[in-house]
């Protein structure tokens, strides 16, 4: 394992001092064009790469960021991550990707490890920590921006989708098409987004003076299996339902499968609206009508906000809310 080339090696070889090399590297201070070129050559020849870790020790900035998500293989978060990574890289930062596996203990662990790595900033997606624990955790941390999660009070940034509006426009669409008995596959009971979507769902009924039945709602795990089971149960118990609004597209796909099992035609017998517009949504048959928030944009904007705050603009707009839009496809035309 041959040692890394150091600045001292370059300086010796070039016959100059450390500082001159440092200046060339950082394009700082006045260095004569001649020596600059000379040093440049030596750097090339020796294949010198400045150590960001040594540099970080003195500058107190590592050029690294932490990105914490529940599950980076989930198509939702993988897109958010990509948007975030892209924006970070454009500003010269590298990002640590950390999965919490939906576990709060693991979430605390990764936050600690990122802290020890001295990341310059933190992007925390869909944190499952409760208010107190989250506050506590952020105290020890550098600049933080939350994605898909809101925290009252202090000055942490946040980027969110307007989930209430999402629930509203999705349900409104179904109501406009004449549906009155609309089921809601609500996702996990402790999901903040889920609660907001429910509010929107109720608000839409209120707009047209229609009434909803609490029995029309069913919680489920936010995946295909969960959606299938919940849809099966709901449609069996309430054959009067003519439409379903779903927590996310995976759940909606599960609902599609449940309808298939029950011999119900979509959208003829049951119309279905999902949420998120993951790539899958356009590929299943019937293709899903769904409520889109750009996940890539979510990640990108969050990262840009984080970077601004790192660069010092802590007063910078604290909360960004992305509006969803309805994408009408076959499952609820």
Partner DNA sequence: CTGTTAGCGCATTCAT
Partner DNA sequence: ATGAATGCGCTAACAG
- Comparison of 125 and 310: residue with beta carbon closer to DNA: 310
Pick from 13, 35, 296, 326: which binds DNA (CB under 7 A)? 35
User: From CA 38, how far away is CA 24, in angstroms rounded?
Assistant: 10
Binding partner of residue 188 among its own copies, DNA, none, CB cut-off 5 to 8 Å per kind: none
HSE of 279, CA atoms in CB hemisphere, 13 A? 7
Q: List beta partners, residue 327.
A: 290
Q: Whole-number minimum distance, CB 95 to its own copies, in Å?
A: 6
Residue closer to DNA, measured from CB, 63 or 75: 63
Q: What part of residues 74-93 is at the interface with DNA (CB under 7 A)? A: none
Please, are residues 64 and 94 in contact by the beta-carbon 8 Å criterion? yes
Residues 287-306 that bind its own copies (CB under 8 A): 296
Q: Answer with the entry of its own copies, DNA, none that 99 interacts with (C-beta below 5 to 8 A by kind).
A: its own copies
- Name which position in 30, 44, 116, 209 contacts its own copies (CB under 8 A): 116
For residue 77, which of 69, 87, 85 has the smallest C-alpha distance? 69
Closer residue to its own copies (CB): 81 or 129: 81
> Judged by CB under 8 A, which of 35, 52, 104, 318 binds its own copies?
52
Q: Indicate which of its own copies, DNA, none lies near residue 214 (CB less than 5 to 8 Å, by partner kind).
A: none
Q: How far is residue 105 CA from its own chain's centroid? A: 20
Please identify, using beta-carbon distances, which residue of 47 and 153 lies nearer to DNA: 47
- The reply to whether 32 sits near DNA by the rule CB under 7 A is yes
Secondary structure (3-state) at 146: strand
Between 112 and 177, whose beta carbon lies closer to its own copies? 112
Instruction: Give the closest residue to 231 by CA, choosing from 194, 198, 187.
Output: 187
Smallest separation, CB 150 to DNA (Å):
33
Q: Is the dihedral of CA 283, 161, 296, 104 positive or negative?
A: negative
Q: What share of the chain is helix, strand, coil (3-state, %, to 5)?
A: 45, 15, 35
Task: List the strands of the sheet with 325-327, edge to edge.
Answer: 217-218, 182-185, 243-246, 271-276, 289-292, 325-327
Residue numbers of the site for DNA (CB under 7 A)? 3-4, 6-8, 16-20, 22-23, 25-26, 28-32, 34-36, 50-51, 54-55, 57-60
């Amino acid at each position: 394992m041959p040692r890394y080339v150091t600045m001292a090696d370059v300086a010796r070889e070039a016959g100059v001092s450390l500082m001159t090399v440092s200046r060339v590297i950082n394009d700082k201070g006045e260095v004569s064009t001649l020596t600059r070129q000379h040093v440049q050559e030596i750097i090339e020849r020796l294949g010198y790469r400045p150590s960001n870790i040594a540099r970080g020790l003195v500058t107190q900035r590592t050029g690294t960021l932490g990105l914490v998500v529940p599950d980076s293989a989930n198509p939702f978060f993988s897109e958010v991550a990509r948007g975030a990574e892209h924006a970070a890289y454009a500003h010269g930062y590298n990002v640590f990707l950390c999965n919490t596996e939906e576990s709060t203990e693991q979430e605390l662990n990764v936050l600690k490890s990122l802290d020890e790595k001295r990341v310059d900033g933190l992007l925390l997606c869909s944190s499952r920590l409760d208010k107190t624990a989250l506050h506590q955790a952020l105290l020890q941390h550098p600049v933080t921006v939350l994605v898909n999660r809101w925290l009252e009070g202090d000055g942490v940034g946040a980027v969110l989708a307007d989930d209430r509006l999402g629930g509203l426009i999705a349900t409104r669409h179904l109501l406009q098409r004449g549906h009155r008995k609309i089921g809601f596959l609500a996702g996990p009971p402790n999901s903040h987004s889920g609660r907001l979507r429910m509010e929107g769902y109720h608000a839409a009924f209120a707009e047209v003076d229609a009434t909803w039945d609490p029995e029309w709602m069913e919680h489920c795990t936010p995946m295909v299996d969960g959606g299938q089971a919940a849809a099966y149960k709901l449609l069996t118990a309430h054959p009067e339902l003519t439409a379903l609004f779903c927590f996310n597209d995976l759940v909606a796909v599960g609902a599609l499968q449940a309808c298939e099992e029950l011999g119900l035609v979509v959208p003829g017998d049951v119309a279905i609206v999902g949420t998120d517009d993951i790539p899958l949504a356009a590929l299943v048959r019937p293709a899903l009508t769904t409520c889109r928030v750009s996940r890539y944009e979510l990640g990108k904007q969050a990262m840009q906000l984080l970077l601004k705050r790192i660069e010092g603009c802590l007063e910078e707009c604290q909360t960004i809310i992305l509006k969803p839009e309805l994408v009408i496809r076959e499952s609820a035309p």
